[in-house]
């Protein structure tokens, strides 16, 4: 996390743009999203935050990062609803973007083309290490991509993978946290091969 070039050149004078914050679990994605949104709120910009309605780990109405930094969010059923709810907004934040449908990149483009600053946070890889949902497409169309890292619980290096501790083939496990550990590539491969 040494290169925050969330270059304000991209969003001066209400020119829309897309920023992506991606990484594994426990990498601080939501904290970084909240940091950027708080700065916008402080600057009296109109901010709206959306998350998938299925994301009900902690609270119905609030986006809660792991350090309990809370900021109010609106649960939506699909990406199309974000367009309907984003009129008259300066900055749109989207959390847990990996759980959204494949329409999300197009929605983000439309918002950015309307002059809105869009900040998207999400897991870039699923527990198998495969690109997750709409995240790769979002990274491709974004002006700015920040990849944040967790710390590997096995060796202390930077971690990019979310290793699942329980045997379950479902892509999405709600309840989560306790069931995952951040691992580096080497440790991820070693634990998956035994």
Task: List residues binding Zn ion (CB under 5 A).
Answer: 152, 154-155, 184, 187
CB-wise, 118 or 184, nearer to Zn ion?
184
Q: How far from chain centre, in Å, is Cα 2? A: 18
- What lies within 8 Å, CB to CB, of 35 at 6+ separation is none
- CB 161, min distance to Zn ion, A: 9
Residue number with CB closer to Zn ion (74 or 192): 192
Q: Order of strands, edge to edge, in the sheet holding 47-52?
A: 74-76, 47-52, 91-94, 117-123, 17-23, 144-148
Task: Give me the least distance between CB of 26 and Zn ion, in Å please.
Answer: 13
List active site positions: 96
In angstroms, the first-to-last Cα distance of the chain is: 31
Q: Toward Zn ion, which CB reaches closer, 20 or 187?
A: 187
* Shortest distance (Å) from residue 153 CB to Zn ion: 8
């Amino acid at each position: 996390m040494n290169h925050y070039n969330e270059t304000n050149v991209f969003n001066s004078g209400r020119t829309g743009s897309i920023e992506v914050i991606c990484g594994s679990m426990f990498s601080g994605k939501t904290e970084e999203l909240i940091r950027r949104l708080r700065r916008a709120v402080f600057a009296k910009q109109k901010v709206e935050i959306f998350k998938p309605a299925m994301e009900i780990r902690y609270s119905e109405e609030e986006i809660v990062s792991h350090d309990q930094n809370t900021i109010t969010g609106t649960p939506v059923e699909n990406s199309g609803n974000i367009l309907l709810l984003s009129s008259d907004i300066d900055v749109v934040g989207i959390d847990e973007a990996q759980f959204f449908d494949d329409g999300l990149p197009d929605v983000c483009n439309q918002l950015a083309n309307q002059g809105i600053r869009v900040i998207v946070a999400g897991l870039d890889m699923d527990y198998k290490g495969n690109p997750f949902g709409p995240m790769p497409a979002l990274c491709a169309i974004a002006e700015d991509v920040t990849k944040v890292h967790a710390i590997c619980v096995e060796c202390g290096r930077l971690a990019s993978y979310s290793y699942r501790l329980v045997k379950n083939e479902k892509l999405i496990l709600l309840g989560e946290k306790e069931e995952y550990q951040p691992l580096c590539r080497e440790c991820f491969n070693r634990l998956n091969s035994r």
